Amino acid sequence: MAGGFILASVIAIPLGIVLGLNQGVYQAFNPIIQLLKPVSPLAWLPIVTMVVSATYVSDDPLFAKSFVNSLITVALCSLWPTLINTAVGVTSVDKDLLNVSKVLKLSWWQHIRTIVLPSAIPMIFTGLRLSLGIAWMVLIAAEMLAQNPGLGKFVWDEFQNGSSASLGRIMVAVITIGFIGLLLDRGMLLLQKHFSWNKQQSLR
């Protein structure tokens, strides 16, 4: 999951900044974002599996195909909240700060580093928290479908087993999944509190 979430963040944050700085580009890409955002991992996984099987051919692969399938599926499903929130955060930068940047004639990178990023950080972290939760849910679904070792595969195997003790084990796994999701969210919240100047946003 970590690989897919990191990949999604590496793509979503820079792209969100670019979209937020260019309203024309944002308006052009927004329909595509809204079209792809609701697509379920159940729909993405077969497509990803077919593409990976056709392109990821090696006698001695560095990573198993099932891992690559899960990584790409997690990234595809979880990047949208971070992308959208980053773009919204950038477009919401205070106009007075933008005027200061113009007066000081800051370079593009200085403008991003000193004006845009500090102002957009609260929204970026909100997107990251949402993306992390989605990444965790998608990973469980991907483990079930791709039969990768993990809690998702365990739940599916117990369901297929159908014994009288399976329901209890499934419930324990479900509670464990929820608890891990809660820990991930609290961890991201701690990071948000550390980096964000907006303490009210960090308490949500």
The predicted-structure confidence for 27-45, as pLDDT tens digits, reads as follows 999 999 999 988 888 888 8
Q: Is 99 exposed, middle or buried (0-12, 13-18, 19+ CB in 10 A)?
A: exposed
pLDDT of residue 6: 92
Look up residue 154 and give its DSSP letter.
H
Among 82, 70, 85, 86, CA closest to 3: 70
Residue 77 has pLDDT above 60, yes or no: yes
Among 198, 77, 61, CA closest to 139: 77
Q: Is 120 exposed, middle or buried (0-12, 13-18, 19+ CB in 10 A)?
A: buried
Structural domains in the chain, sorted by start: 2-202 (1.10.3720.10)
Put simply, whether the predicted model's pTM sits higher than 0.75 gets the answer yes
pLDDT digits (tens, 9 = 90+) for 43-66: 888 898 899 888 887 777 777 787
